[in-house]
Amino acid sequence: MPYIDRAPAKINLTLHVAGRRSDGWHMLESLVVFAGFGDTLTLEPDGPLALDVAGPTAAKAGPQDDNLVLKAARALAAEVPGLTAGRFVLTKRLPVAAGLGGGSADAAAALRLLARANGLAPHDRRLYAAACATGADVPVCLSHCARIMRGTGHDLGPPLALPPLPAVLVNPGVPVATVGVFRALAIPPGTDIGSDHPAEDRIPGSREALIAALTGLRNDLEPPARALAPEVGTAIEAVAATAGVRLVRMSGSGATVFGLYATPRDASRAAAKLRAAHPGWWARATLLR
């Protein structure tokens, strides 16, 4: 019997850089939410570990041997002797190298599917260990719920009960390499910038108050990403020109940007307008939670 799970897009509503460790890893604080759509992953258990990739954005997903789905499965197999694996089928719908955590969400979905196939509890510590071994964003994608992630991405705050946020996600069709964006920050190793990101108890629980609070925060990766890929700035300006938009910001290391709206209807109209004006762009309306 196949197991199926979804891998929703991850959105960084905020992303503050708090410093850089001596080993080169940047220290972050980010309020993360998830979209109502993403990739889909299926597992056919009881066979050798394998992966097939299909879907609208499969061609840009890179070599299958390097896919994080396989890396996650191998990481969990190292934690769980005798793990039952099998063939994964990944349907890619999210843009690649887009700041949406698509690969990390796929890897987290693989861990959840393997947990179900092997009778592991959702909060089994070995799932978290395998997620950490796979990638920085994989742990937060395991439960795909709103929360603040800190440090290198492995320090997760408690789940947050945020209101659904009507939004538009827009990708201008250019990949942005995360390593290049962080390099452009030019923060020397061993630098402690300090934290100015609000803690969980300062994140408002109403939509209007939350959006107002977000306007005073930022994504520190947006300026270097815009310098490396001017298309990011073009997308931000296009979303900012849509009717009813309340906040526009880049997600992750780019190039996807998001706009927040008062109502789902405003978001749907904005997405349709953006697709019509920019046929080569990827634009979707959704609810962020």
CATH class of 165-288: alpha beta
Whether residue 92 lies in the annotated active site: no
pLDDT value, residue 60: 76
Q: Which residues are annotated as a binding site for ATP?
A: 95-105
Question: What gap in Å lies between CA 107 and CA 67, rounded to an integer?
Answer: 8
Question: What gap in Å lies between CA 34 and CA 202, rounded to an integer?
Answer: 20
Where are the domains positioned within the chain?
A: 3-156, 165-288
Give the single-character DSSP code of 85: -
Question: What gap in Å lies between CA 103 and CA 139, rounded to an integer?
Answer: 12
Tell me the residue type at 280. Answer: G
Tell me the pTM.
0.96
Q: Given the residues 10, 92, 106, 220, select the one marked as catalytic.
A: 10
**Closest CA relative to residue 29, chosen from 149, 173, 184:** 149
Q: How many CB atoms lie within 10 A of CB 175?
A: 14
Strands (E), 13-127: 16-20, 26-45, 50-54, 86-91
C-alpha 166, offset from chain centre: 17
pLDDT value, residue 200: 98
pLDDT value, residue 185: 97
Q: Which residues are annotated as a binding site?
A: 95-105
Residues 6+ apart with CB under 8 A from 264: 166, 285, 287
Q: How many CB atoms lie within 10 A of CB 289?
A: 18
H-type alpha helices, 4-61:
none
Q: Given the residues 5, 39, 106, 137, select the one marked as catalytic.
A: 137
pLDDT value, residue 23: 97
What length is written for the chain?
289
Whether residue 71 lies in the annotated active site: no
Pairing of strands 86-91, 50-54: parallel
3-156 and 165-288: identical CATH topology: no
Q: Which CATH architecture has domain 3-156?
A: 2-Layer Sandwich (3.30)
Question: What gap in Å lies between CA 242 and CA 224, rounded to an integer?
Answer: 25
- pLDDT by 10-residue block (mean), the chain, 289 residues: 96 98 97 97 95 89 84 98 97 93 97 98 97 97 97 97 98 94 97 96 96 98 97 98 98 97 98 98 98
